[in-house]
Structure formats: structure tokens, C-alpha cells
Structure 1
Amino acid sequence: MFSLLKDPSVLRRDILASLVVFLVALPLCVGVAVASGVPAELGLVTGIVGGLIVGALPGSSLQVSGPAAGLTVLVYEAVQEFGLGALGAIVLVSGLLQLLLGALKFGRWFRAISVAVVQGMLAGIGLVLILGQVYAMADTDQPSGGLGKIAGLPDLAGSVVSGGTALTAFLIGAGTVAILVLWPRLPARARVIPGPLVAVALATAVVAVFNLPVAKVEVQGLLEAVQPPGLGDFGDLAGVAAIGTVLAFTLIASAESLFSAAAVDRMHDGPRTDYDKELMAQGVGNTVCGVLGALPMTAVIVRSSANVQAGARTALSRILHGLWLLLFVALLPAAIGVIPLAALAGVLVHAGCKLIPVKELAPLWREHRGEAVILGITATAILVTNLFEGVMLGLLLAVCKTAWETSHLHVDVRELTGGRLVAAITGNATFLRLPRILGELEALPKDRPIELDLSGLRHLDHACRVALENWAQRHNDAGTEPVRMLPPAGAAVQVPSASST
């Protein structure tokens, strides 16, 4: 990296890119923290760690790390269940697990996770995020649980329509969403300033000019907000629920970071990501965030793509963006306190909508219906239950679907001279196909010699082997002709033929 800094043009590009990323990250760091139910400063702490520490580590040179909207739901649930003090302990242990996974070279294996499960995970997070933040847009407390949020929508609509503070705040949030939707359609020169910053700044200005009675971000101060976890907080992690939360943090933060790295690699021609090193870098970042009691971090595609599109060439841009965040917190902490919560909620509602792959659903249904079903079930399960259980269900369905599709087989029965029948089974014989195999074999006549040819099988699992041997024995006991079995080609242990009685 430092050799490239000898080129002034590269240095200039990286500095400009770092400013763009800083302007994108600032409202998102604050918004994610507020939506997670923690002090706004903790989101900025995570952004600073993601820039100054993770930015300097090897892995992916251009992707940017910080607090992510994708973890907002999980963090909020963790804070509600275990308390703010335990959050640092959960993040710290998750970071150590990421370090261990990276050291054991597990980074590359995260790329093997089904895309449908990842899309379903993001869609589920997006739905929960939208349902939660639409209440925040109206300065109203959100019900617990996805179903509770859905059931409470009529009352929310009634509160907004009736006017008062709820309507004022909702209009601020809706205006923020409208700016974010329209911003990409403006000329390129107008889009030099990032849309989230413009939307939040305009909403803040409107609230200040008209002195609107809406809730604003509460400012505690950086030192007051940073509270390292104590020994008692680590003791709270012994329960099953806490362990599940730690695993969910580790799995989702790692998967999101590495999928982001793959996407960022497609955006530029520079060095490719070392997935194991990137996983360890994320682990270092989350360990530090855990020590500081801050939010968990992931690599974030919005900030990363802004970094690449702004012309960044080296890791210096993401390091400097962390420095700008630190200077902002140190020099202008009071500026956070004038931001209306409804505007930040609008930013996150827009981010939640972008997590739902609406344009990809119809083509996916036409071409890969099973993948679309997995996506839908995963997203619905996350909405109805929680993030960890929804992802685990999606992974289980993906494995079952793959096992079913790879166990294709064909049973061909033909008659030879002398009345002898040959039943040839080809493909992969697994327990999933036993009903079909046994159904066709049991329909064969019992008074004619049968040869069961397994030489065309690529795989024969133990369940099928035992079931076929039992069928041959039963057929011999009930009929007059024995069954002759030809084992799979190259089998180390031949399938024994059942002897006639």
C-alpha cells in the first residue's frame, strides 16, 4: 500500500474516496446504533474500529467495515434479552470465534453457503427492519416479535392519521425515504454528496427551522457510552439462548463480510480477497469492539461500493474514513443530538427495502423454484421466530434439497431369454429414494428368476444396501426363484447375494 502512495494521484484519489465513505458511514453508524437500542456513539465506535484497525489489516483491500443494518435485528433482540452490558461480551466471544475460524482456514468455506439462504436471510432481516423502523418513523414504540409488529400496523396507521406528533414524525421519515429513492435519478454532479447524508441533513434542517416536536438522538458522550463488559457479563453467556446468539453473530457477520468481499472483488481490478485473512481481520475488529462494549461489525456493501466508485486504490481510503469518524466524534459530538430519530428510521427503512431481492424473485421462481421456496421459507421463519432459527432452518432445507437432487436414480426392468428378469438400478441410491426403489422391486413377479444389477450405481448408502438385501431375502422366501445381485462397480465390499431357501 505505502509504495503506491508515492504516486500523488493515488494519494489524492484515496483521500477523496475516504471523505465520501465517511459521509456515507456517518448517518448509517448512528442510525444502526439507535435502531439496535444502544447509544448512538457506539455505532460510531464500531465504524472507527472498522476503519482504523480492520482497515489496516490484510484480507480485502477496498471493502469497508462497520455496523451493519443486517445485524440490527439480532443486536436489538440481544440487548432486550441480555442487557447492554452483555452485548460487549457476546461481540468479543464472536470475534474470538472468527479468529479461530480464520486460523483454521474456514474462510473459504463460507462461500459454500446456499445463495438462496443468504438472500432469504437478508430478506428476512429487511422485513423485520422495515416493520420495526416504520414505528420509529412515527416516534412510536414498536411491539415485540415480527407477528406483533404486523398485528400493530392498524393501530400505527390510526395514530398517524389522527395527526399530532406521530403524523409530523412520520412525514419527516417519509420525506427522508423519498429523497433516498429519488437521489440516484439525479444528474451525476448532484450526486457527489451521498444520498443518506443529504436526506438526514435536510430532515434535520426542516425540524430545526420549524421547531417541530419530534424525538431526536440522545447524546451521552463517547466516554460515557463506552462500557467494557465485566466478568459477570461473560457469566451470562453460559445459557443456551446466549450461546445461540453468539453463534448467530459469528455466522451472520462472517457470511455477510465474505459475501461482501466477493461482491467488491467484482467491482475492481485490484488484488483479490484472501478470505481466511479477511475473516481474521473481522475477528480482530469484533474482539476490539467487544472489549469497548460497542456494536458488532461486518464488511458493509454500501460503504464498500461507495469506496470503489469514489476511485479508491489502496486500503488508505478506509483507514482515513475511520480517522474522519474519530475526529467528528471528538470535535462535534453535539451535532449528533440535533438529528431527528424519524430521519434515521427512514434511512433504515430504505436500507431494509434494498435487502429484499424483489427483482430477482420472479426469475428465480421460473428457473429454480426450489431455491425460491427456500428463500421464502427462510425469510418467513426469521420474521416469525428469530434470525438464528430462521437461518438454521434455511440451511437445513438447502442441505435436504441438495441431497434429494443428487440422489437421482433410474430403475430399468427388462426381460431376457428364458423368462429371466434384469432390474438395473443406476444413479445414486440413498435412503431418500428407498420408497421408489422398493415399490418397483416389490411389484416384480416372485415366480421368475431375477437379477438385480447394481453395477451402474455411483453411490449406494448403507440404508439402501440393507434394504435391498432384505428385499432379496423376502423375495426368496416368498417365491420359487432366487435373486442374484450384482454389486456396484468398484465396490470394495461386494453386496452379498441372498441365498435361496
Structure 2
Amino acid sequence: MSSLPLRLRPDVLSRDVLASIVVFLVAVPLCVGIAVASGVPAELGLVTGIVGGLVTGAMPGSSLQVSGPAAGLTVLVHEAVTTHGVAALGVLVLATGILQVGLGLIGFGRWFRAISTAVVHGMLAGIGLVLISSQLYAMAGSSAPGSGLDNLAGLPDLFTGITAAPAISSCAIGAGTIVMLILWKRLPGRLPGMLPGPLAAVGLATATVAVFDLPVAPIEVQGLVDSLRLTGLDDFGLLADAGLLGVVLAFTLIASAESLFSAAAVDRMHDGPRTHFNKELVAQGTGNTICGLVGALPMTAVIVRSAANVQAGACTKASRILHGVWLLVFAALFPAMLGLIPVAALAGILVHAGAKLIPVATIRPLWREHRGEAVVLIVTALAIVLTDMFMGVLLGIGLAVIKTAWETSAVRIDIDERDDRTTVSLGGNATFLRLPLILDTLEALPKDRPVELDLSRLRHLDHACRTALEAWSTHSGAVRRHGPATDGTPREAALAGLARNGDGSPRTP
């Protein structure tokens, strides 16, 4: 038995089969719920899950993480579908997949790990807020106004308007689903460990609606084949719209970052082979290319399914491939079962998923220990709610870069006042960001004694600071000691000090 490949050993194969069933049960309600929340037929979510298992799951990259439609892209997909129509979804996802494959082939995958974690957490928090605000309307059997800000502003009217029997029944089913998800793992016995919470919650909600004949809207089913729309060459003309190109870039950034961050997290959960990030990006891009060809939802690696896969004892990629097989069998043989699921139950699942995207427990300690990171997180999240996903992420990345530049340009100013002269020593990194502080300090020095400016402890002196300090030395008659070369000047010349008398004539320090 030990001579057999790992994937063919009976004990390993049995663990992979059991893990694939667990992941399948977790994936079904999430695939369907994300599709409905995105404004597309429920079957398209299953198609993305199938491609994520059969295609991406079979490719090299990460061994145990599982791909499918993710809640993190729901808001952006809904905006794109609402603005440009379902017909545009295929070419958007196809372009995203091609771009991901290209980035992976040129070795760009590892650079996605350089994105600030505060931006990623802020992005997920913003998505969570928008997702919650939109799905609360679905729980009440109503339609969301549109943007994240409009959705939040309309919540008071939504809550006060829940008076009719259909709205009350729908809210009860949605709220009951959320309570079920919260309490499921805390129930005694072996059942919570054997049956995934989302599946149990949807099953109970569906049974409740059927038994009591509640006036709650079910999912509209079109059929697996009827829901597909092949992307043709004519659809590429849509990419002439600059707005759609922005959506493609947003899809690429978010899907790639979420997948690769998920891979890094999954690697910490098991002792198996580590993720090859460039290959994983190619695998994700290949999956998105196929999803785009058939007009399905965009794909990312999903941490919920991936964690379920690892926790269920998966050993090889066979588990995620088999989960795609089970999704295909379900979509082909039991499509009518989707029409029994109430929309309010799926909305409850997504409200719960959105709440888990908001890092409430980490914001307070982050604020105490790394306030700048907390600011980036909060600003990114609020910007997504107030504007849109793409602008929010761009603002977050820009703010993170500014924060990093400010922190790395720290300069220390020491002033030593003696009877005959004042010595000002600069240490650290002197850049244009700290130039106002440096000049304000120098200009506030006493004018009745010579000043010596010591730059020997500086690790970096940019051109703006060097020029300004030379000008100040010339104007004030200060002596400037050694400093670092930064602009290609020979070091000996750059370190030459400027010595001036009070009348501006040169003197030796």
C-alpha cells in the first residue's frame, strides 16, 4: 500500500470522498445564494462551482483550497449586471480570466501578496456592509434601492414598512435562518459536526415554508442549459466602454487578491504541499475564462469551503474535484429542488456571511496597536459603501502607500545648544514629507550664534531635502557636515560640508 501514489491509497481516497461530500453540502446553498444576490439565475452559481471543482481543482497551484462564486464579488457583479445587463457578464469574466492567466504566466502572482492586509480587510468589511444592507431588503421580500449608501439610508423605511403578511413571513424565515446559523455549531450531539450549518438552515426554512404554506417567494428556476449564454466575438465590443474596463480591473484585483490570500490562509491549516502562487493564479484565470465563455459568475478561491475541506480531512486535490462532480450531478438531476428554496433563507445566509466579513473583533486592538492600519481599513470600507468597490479599493491602496511613505520617512532632530554654537543633528530618513518639520525647526533656532547642521546619521536624504538644506545653509550661514549621496553625485562630493560666515563667505568648519 505504501508504494501506491498518495491519491490512490484507499485510506486517503476514502477521506477525500468524505471531504468532497462535506464541501458539496456547504457549496450548494452558497452557490445558489450568491447567484440570486448577484441578480443572475441561480443555476449560474452552480456552474461556477462546477468549473471551480472540475477545472481549477484539477490544475496545479494550491492542493486543498476550493474555488467557486464568492460573496466578496456579489456587490460588484450585481452593479455590473444592473448597469450593463446579464449579457455583459460573460465577456467581463472572460476578460478577467485571460488577464489573470497572463499575470500568472509573467510571475505576477506573488506580488498580490504585497497588497496591504488592512486594504484587504477593509475591502471585505465594505463588501460585508453593502451585502448586509442589500440582503435585508431581500429578507423582507422587497427590492434594494441600488447603491450601498441608498440601501443604508432606506433601512428605516424598510423596517417600519414590514406590516403585510408576506413581508412578516419573509422576515421571519430570514431571521430564523440567521439564528440557525449562529446556534448550529453550539447544538449538542454529533449532527452539527456531520451536517453543514448553511444546508441545515436552508433545509429547515424550506420545510417550514412548505408545512405552514407561508407566502414567501421561492427561487425562480430556469434550468441549467437555459441559463447559460455563450460569449461570442461580438460581445468583446462592450469592452470599448471605459467603465467596463474598470470593472474588469476590479474583478481581477479582487478575485486574485482574495484567492491568493485564501491560499496563504489555507496553507497554515495543513502540513501538505505549499501553494505555488503563480500557478494558482493561472488556475483561477483558466477557471474564470471558462466561466466567462458560458456566461457564469466570476470565480475565486473561497475560504469557507476551503476550511471545510481541510477540516473534513482532505488529503489531495481529489476532494475538490469530486465536489465539482457532486455539484454537476445535483444540477443535472435535481434542478427542481432549487425552486423550493425560499429567497429569504438565502438572504439570511448572505447576511450572516456579510457579517463575518466585518472584522469587528480585530478593529479595537488594531486601533490601539496600529492606528494607521485601522484608519486604512475603516476608510477603505466606508469608501466602498459611499462610492463603489473599485474606487474604494483604489483609495485604500493609495492611503496605505501614503501611510507607509510617511512612516518610513521618519526623521529624528536633535538640538545641542552650547555657548559658542548650536548643533542640529538629523537622523533617519529625510524626505520631502518631513521637510516642513525640518525647516520649521531650523528657522526657529536662535539667530545670535553659529549653527552646525550634522547630516552624518541620515540613512537617506532625497533631492528635495538636500536642495532645501543647501539653500538654508547658504542663507543662514550654517555649517553642514557629512550627509548621504542620493542623486548619483560621487559620495565625496556629496558629503562635502558647506561652511559659511555670517556675511556668506566660505569658511572652514
- Aligned equivalent of 1:421: 422
- 1:26-50 deviation per Cα after TM superposition (whole angstroms, max 9, x unaligned): 0100000000000111100000000
Superposition deviation, residue 108 in structure 1 = 1.4
The letter of the residue matching 1:461 is D
The letter of the residue matching 2:294 is L
Q: Say if 1:66 and 1:299, in contact at 8 Å, map to a contact too.
A: yes
Q: Say if 2:181 and 2:352, in contact at 8 Å, map to a contact too.
A: yes
1:80 to 79, 82, 95: 82
The letter of the residue matching 1:21 is V
- Aligned equivalent of 1:487: 483
Q: Say if 1:133 and 1:349, in contact at 8 Å, map to a contact too.
A: yes
Residue 456 of structure 2: SS of its match in structure 1?
A: coil
CA separation of 1:308 and 1:327: change in aligned 2, threshold 3 A = same
- Aligned equivalent of 1:165: 166
Superposition deviation, residue 485 in structure 1 = 4.3
- Aligned equivalent of 1:444: 445
Residue 486 of structure 1: SS of its match in structure 2?
A: coil
Residue 451 of structure 1: SS of its match in structure 2?
A: strand
The letter of the residue matching 2:238 is D
CA separation of 1:277 and 1:152: change in aligned 2, threshold 3 A = same
Aligned runs of 1:266-415 on 2, under 5 Å? 266-415=268-417
Superposition deviation, residue 446 in structure 1 = 4.4
Q: Say if 1:32 and 1:69, in contact at 8 Å, map to a contact too.
A: yes
Q: Say if 2:38 and 2:74, in contact at 8 Å, map to a contact too.
A: yes
- Aligned equivalent of 1:5: 7
CA separation of 1:482 and 1:306: change in aligned 2, threshold 3 A = closer
**Which whole-Å CA distance do the structure 2 matches of 1:362 and 1:426 have between them?**
33
Q: Does 1:204 align with 2:200?
A: no
Q: Say if 1:204 and 1:340, in contact at 8 Å, map to a contact too.
A: yes
- Aligned equivalent of 1:36: 38
Q: Say if 1:124 and 1:378, in contact at 8 Å, map to a contact too.
A: yes
The letter of the residue matching 1:305 is A
**Which whole-Å CA distance do the structure 1 matches of 2:45 and 2:488 have between them?**
59
Which stretch of structure 1 is more off in the superposition, 82-91 or 448-457? 448-457
- Aligned equivalent of 1:478: none
CA separation of 1:133 and 1:490: change in aligned 2, threshold 3 A = closer
Residue 161 of structure 2: SS of its match in structure 1?
A: helix
- 1:151-206 deviation per Cα after TM superposition (whole angstroms, max 9, x unaligned): 2112211222x132111111111111111010011236111011101111111111
Which stretch of structure 1 is more off in the superposition, 241-250 or 209-218? 209-218
The letter of the residue matching 2:181 is L
1:102 to 101, 104, 107: 104
Residue 215 of structure 2: SS of its match in structure 1?
A: coil
The letter of the residue matching 1:128 is V
**Which whole-Å CA distance do the structure 1 matches of 2:191 and 2:262 have between them?**
27
The letter of the residue matching 2:251 is F
- Aligned equivalent of 1:469: 470
The letter of the residue matching 1:105 is G
Residue 77 of structure 1: SS of its match in structure 2?
A: helix
Superposition deviation, residue 244 in structure 1 = 1.3
Q: Say if 1:159 and 1:167, in contact at 8 Å, map to a contact too.
A: no
Residue 10 of structure 1: SS of its match in structure 2?
A: helix
Q: Say if 1:124 and 1:380, in contact at 8 Å, map to a contact too.
A: yes
Residue 412 of structure 2: SS of its match in structure 1?
A: strand
Q: Say if 2:31 and 2:69, in contact at 8 Å, map to a contact too.
A: yes
* Number of residue pairs aligned between Structure 1 and Structure 2: 494
- 1:444-495 deviation per Cα after TM superposition (whole angstroms, max 9, x unaligned): 34454333221211111111112112222322xxxxx453442327985206
2:138 to 111, 136, 139: 136
The letter of the residue matching 1:358 is V
- Aligned equivalent of 2:191: 190
Superposition deviation, residue 135 in structure 1 = 0.4
Residue 455 of structure 1: SS of its match in structure 2?
A: strand
CA separation of 1:362 and 1:210: change in aligned 2, threshold 3 A = same
- Percent identity between matched residues is 65
**Which whole-Å CA distance do the structure 1 matches of 2:496 and 2:396 have between them?**
40
Q: Say if 2:417 and 2:423, in contact at 8 Å, map to a contact too.
A: yes
- Aligned equivalent of 2:459: 458
- Aligned equivalent of 1:228: 230
RMSD of aligned C-alpha atoms? 1.8
Q: Say if 1:245 and 1:388, in contact at 8 Å, map to a contact too.
A: yes
Structure 1 portions without partners, runs of 5+ = 476-480
**Which whole-Å CA distance do the structure 2 matches of 1:223 and 1:230 have between them?**
17
Structure 2 portions without partners, runs of 5+ = none
The letter of the residue matching 1:442 is E
